[in-house]
Amino acid sequence: MEPRKLAAGNWKMNGDLAALGQIDALLAGAGDAACDVLICPPATLIHPMVARVGSADLLVGGQDCHAKDAGAHTGDISARQLRDIGASHVILGHSERRADHGETDADVAAKAGAAQAAGLIAIICVGETEDQRDQGRTLEVIAEQLAGSLPQGATAAYTVLAYEPVWAIGTGRTPTVAQIAEVHALLRDKLTARLDDGAQVTLLYGGSVKPANAAEIFAIPNVDGALVGGASLKAEDFAPIISALAAA
């Protein structure tokens, strides 16, 4: 069985209730895409977005969760709470959370374990900095992040991996096709070695994906979709990315 294709949008700390109109435009424009489509809005918009989507084919997810189910953790949200309001996925270990909140691989693994237990699909992000790439350490860094961030008992049904080079996020710069292919091949090899169903884990590329480069990226072996930041905020940009994935 092939991995499921996924076009995932990360709205980060952008958007208010008025931005939900993008969902209508996306649903109208995307049609019955041959891939899963997910938006991860800020926490304030998850429930209103789920309500707006109704029975239509668009998934809604969170951008982070706590590793515990409940308790004295002011400002945090648990995986169970995300599931309760209709989220299907949660992004974990995004480089902005690793940098801004000091999240470690062990933190990410604990959160991913909680997500899995709550019935959420964890989108686990890994990626090298520009310095690490310049030092020729990309594959070593990715392998270490993957090994440390994947929870015990991970399965393809509840795990998505996103390769997001830190230097490509929001910069308009992307790795070459060969560089993406090399990292995705490594991820597939490591996942296949560690999980019985590692061949079925969806692997996303993320970092300055746009309508103009989407088709080229989706043609790369072991790229099953994208995690898209800036270009997911407007339906007119995200819809052609979804179409490119559906056609790949």
Q: Give the number of other CB atoms < 10 A from CB of residue 132.
A: 17
Binding map of ligand PEP across residues 108-147, x = CB under 6 A, - = no contact: ----------------------------------------
Quick check: is 164 catalytic? Answer: yes
Query: Would you say 100 or 196 has its CB closer to ligand PEP?
Result: 100
Rounded CA separation 240/224 (Å): 16
Near ligand PEP by CB under 6 A: residue from 122, 228, 235, 242: 228
* Residue 121 structure tokens: 């699909």
Rounded CA separation 219/125 (Å): 21
Residues in the interface with ligand PEP (CB under 6 A) total 13
We find the least distance from the C-beta atom of residue 189 to ligand PEP, in angstroms, to be 23
Among 66, 94, 103, 128, the active-site one is: 94
230 binds ligand PEP (CB under 6 A): yes
Q: Which amino acid is at 8?
A: A
* Residue 66 structure tokens: 């706590």
Rounded CA separation 147/161 (Å): 12
Strand (E) positions, the chain?
Answer: 6-10, 36-40, 59-62, 89-92, 121-126, 159-163, 202-206, 225-228
* Residue 86 structure tokens: 């209709």
Point out the residue whose Cβ comes nearest to ligand PEP. 229
Near ligand PEP by CB under 6 A: residue from 7, 23, 169, 220: 169
We find the least distance from the C-beta atom of residue 158 to ligand PEP, in angstroms, to be 20
62 binds ligand PEP (CB under 6 A): no
Q: Give the number of other CB atoms < 10 A from CB of residue 47.
A: 16
206 binds ligand PEP (CB under 6 A): yes
Q: Give the number of other CB atoms < 10 A from CB of residue 76.
A: 15
We find the least distance from the C-beta atom of residue 125 to ligand PEP, in angstroms, to be 7
175 binds ligand PEP (CB under 6 A): no
Q: Which residues bind ligand PEP (CB under 6 A)?
A: 10, 164, 169-170, 206-209, 227-231
